[in-house]
Amino acid sequence: MSVNNRPTKKKGKHKAGRRSGRGKTAPGTHVPIMVSEVVNCLEPGPGQTVVDCTLGYGGHARKFLQKIGPEGRLIGLDCDAKELARTAKRLKKFGDAFVPRRANFSELEEVLGELEISKVDIIFADLGLSSMQIDDPGRGIHYKNDGPLDMRMDDRLERTAADVVAEISEEELAEALWKYSDEPDSGVIAAFICGQRQAAPITRVDQLKRIVLNAKGLTEATWKKQQKSQSFGGAHPAARTFQALRILVNDELGALEQLLEAAPGCVKAGGRIGIISFHAGEDRLVKNAFREGLKKGVYQAVSKGAITPRQGEIRKNPRSSSARFRWAQLA
């Protein structure tokens, strides 16, 4: 099955919060990652035009807006209508300097064209999930809360995760689990999922989680027992499956490839592009695109390696632990 899950357009126009305890984020908020590193590397300044491709809670955007001032402009993109509206209210005080747009960052060129902007000074993207999305059981993105098996970041997308699980072949599912999350038991899990869907549709988070646990010879009880053992650690056995399905449903790597291809043509000479990624597939795409651009003379400089959060930030915000930040400067 070829998954082309782009938004169906209608006619016409198509993250620092209050903390709740150590290592926890208060519900409805999101803590932006590596803010000082992002600002230091991208160097936003007065009067500049910045695109935040993943507006989210607005933590990075707020810092950019403070740096570019009232004469600058920040275009904030987000395909999540609910969070976009909330963040627009939070950043309303910045007036005309803040321009929110509902769009996937794969639509960057289209958005800039509509705004009659040829080139900008900075393009930034944080590819991680926001805490609001993770904590919302109605989205079905995370295995920790039961809810409908949806996983869409953008409710204009046609297929939910439940639809994909119902339609995809066993071979394609196994390939996706390996490609998008390096799941070592991809074949076994795919076989279990495709076997179980014959008995009953898989429409809930807990259903899928149980199937993955069973495929690995576990139950929730035995997993919790192992988790408490001093000799055992690591993520939930279903974590990789949920990650792979989310990437598949939202075509995340396809959108990133489009952004990496379009971004250099949208940035002024000497301008900068910065991207925070969270898993190997994303980071590999960013690293290779920046390195190839440097070889071809598109970029005059790129980060020598991935910049990672400091230990103090990881202790305060464990969700930042897998973040990798890379930047490139246009020739």
Annotated binding site: 58-60, 78, 105, 126, 133
Extract the tokens encoding 118.
């040829």
Site of tokens 């491709």 = 53
Backbone torsions φ then ψ of 162, nearest 5 degrees: -60, -40
Q: How far is CA 260 from CA 64, 74, 123, in A?
A: 21, 19, 10
Contact residues for 31 (Cβ-Cβ < 8 A; gap 6+): 15, 16, 17, 19, 25, 59, 131, 316, 317, 319, 320
At CA 99, angle to CA 113 and CA 16, rounded to 5? Answer: 130
Helix axes 205-215, 186-199, angle to 10 degrees: 130
104 neighbors 255 (Cβ within 8 angstroms): yes
Q: Which residues are annotated as a binding site for S-adenosyl-L-methionine?
A: 58-60, 78, 105, 126, 133
85 neighbors 7 (Cβ within 8 angstroms): no
Query: Helix (H, G, I), strand (E, B), or coil: what is residue 300?
Result: strand
26 neighbors 44 (Cβ within 8 angstroms): no
**Cα distance from N-terminal residue to C-terminal residue, the chain:** 41
Site of tokens 């297929």 = 159
